[in-house]
Structure formats: structure tokens, C-alpha cells
Amino acid sequence: MNDTSSLLKQPQWRIIDQSSLGEGFHALQSFAMDDTLCASVGGGSSSAAARAWVHHRTIVLGIQDTKLPFLENGLKILGEQGYQVIVRNSGGLAVVLDEGVLNISLIFPETERKIEINRGYDAMFELVKCMFSDFGATIEAREITGSYCPGSYDLSIGGKKFAGISQRRIRNGVAVQIYLCVNGSGSDRASLIKGFYKAAKENEETRFSYPEIKPSVMASLTELLSVPLTIGDVMLRFLSSLKEMGGSIASSQLSGEEWPLYEAYLTRVTERNEKVFQSL
């Protein structure tokens, strides 16, 4: 069995499904949730966890995005189009989250041996390939130039990106996170981020290189596979594939011991966001 398969084959997966909580579920809560699960899984008080989540009309910025010279102008553009904006506590650049985007986090324990960064990415890549294997489409993992938040593990079909993967590590816990554009228009989402960068950067020279976005290189799975997929459809594929590739799965929520930890992480990420936006 290869390293990737052994990562996905956990004795038990603890499933936390937050994919249908609605508009009141704030993205900052998601980042606090993953940090809490990282601490619990890494500390040995929880089995490996898999969490699914959906947020409505939210733009998640990376730390580098907050250094844009005319950030306030970019935020105004997003606000006028009805999007709330937060800054994530892990790497990467701006991404769009809405009701057509399913996010999945796999949280592994890093207690016995270190999990190399690419090994975590490969595990998520293998899971996604399994989820959509019946379509016969070739899913690639390589950087898609012109996409938003480009990286070496952009997932694409026919050169069009539908997903991006990131990682976060806390206290011997590793969270591998992916956003899957399930339905809606990938190019519309990309156009939104293109407009943000245009307003926030203008023609100013910056030390950091921001992506030149080409909306045509991004699409949803519904567009790429020519099948009307829903979040519920993909959730079923996710759970079935996890069960097929790993051990047993069990539905769960935070335990009594985890709630105070979650509240502390939520306070921390909220205060960090307030600090960023107050400085504008």
C-alpha cells in the first residue's frame, strides 16, 4: 500500500458535516473549527476527522492580499456585489466561497511519523479522483496559470481549474483543505476576483506578484462534466469514497472538551481579522 492510500485508510473517520448550515454559518467559524480538530486529532483525543462545509457569498483573502496598495477599493467592489470578506489563517490568495462550492477538510494525526506536505496534498488528490472516477475524465494536479489562488495542486479537467488545495498544521495535527466548485459559473467567480485585484492593485508596482486572472481557465464540475451536480450529490460521493478507501465512518460534532478550545480559536481568528480591517 502506498503512502497516500495509508493516509486515507484510517481506523475510523470522524465525520463533521456542516454543508447545509446556511447563510448564518460564518467562514471564521470554519477556520476555528479546523484549528480545534487539528489540536484534538494531533493530541490523540480524536480519531482522524473529515469535515465538509459550505459558506454563502464570502471572499477569503490570503495574508498577501491584505498588502495590496489600494485594498480598500477592492473591498468596496466586493461589498457592492454582496460579498463579505475575511482573511484566512493559512497561506494562499483570494478565493470565492458560495453555495455552489463544497469545502472539505481532512485532518490527520502527525504523531507517529511526519506527514510530508506533498503527501497530504496527494491524499486529497487521490480522494477527489475516486469521487469522480465513474465519469472517466482525467483530473490533473498542476498549476493553472490565470486562475485565482494558483498553486502546484490546482485540480483541473481539460486545463480548466475546479479546485484548489491548502494545508494547515497545529499541534501534531495536519488539516488538508480543498474547495470544490460544484456548480455555478467558474468564470464568473474568477471575474469577481479579477475585478477585486484590478481595484486593489491598479497599476502600482508591488513586491509580491499577484495573479493575472483569466476567467476562461476556471469552471465548475457541473460545467466540466456536463452533469447538473448538487452539493448533496458530491457529499454522497465524498462519504462513499472515504469509506471505500479508508476504514469506518461515524457522524460527529464537537465534544464538551472541544468547545472551549473552539471558542478560544474563534476569538483569536476574529480578533486577527478585526485588526487587519481596522488598520485600513
Q: Name the residues annotated as catalytic.
A: 149
In the block, residue with C-alpha cell 485594498: 71
DSSP per-residue codes, 108-168: EE-SSS---HHHHHHHHHHHHHHHTGGG-PPPEES--TTSSS--TT-EEETTEEEEEEEEE
Half-sphere exposure of 119 (CA within 13 A, CB side): 15
**Residue by residue, what is the 3-state secondary structure of 220-246?**
CHHHHHCCCCCHHHHHHHHHHHHHHHC
Strands 12-18, 248-251: pairing is parallel
DSSP symbol at 155: E
Query: Are the beta carbons of 193 and 96 closer than 8 angstroms?
Result: yes
Half-sphere exposure of 115 (CA within 13 A, CB side): 29
Cell of 84: 463579505
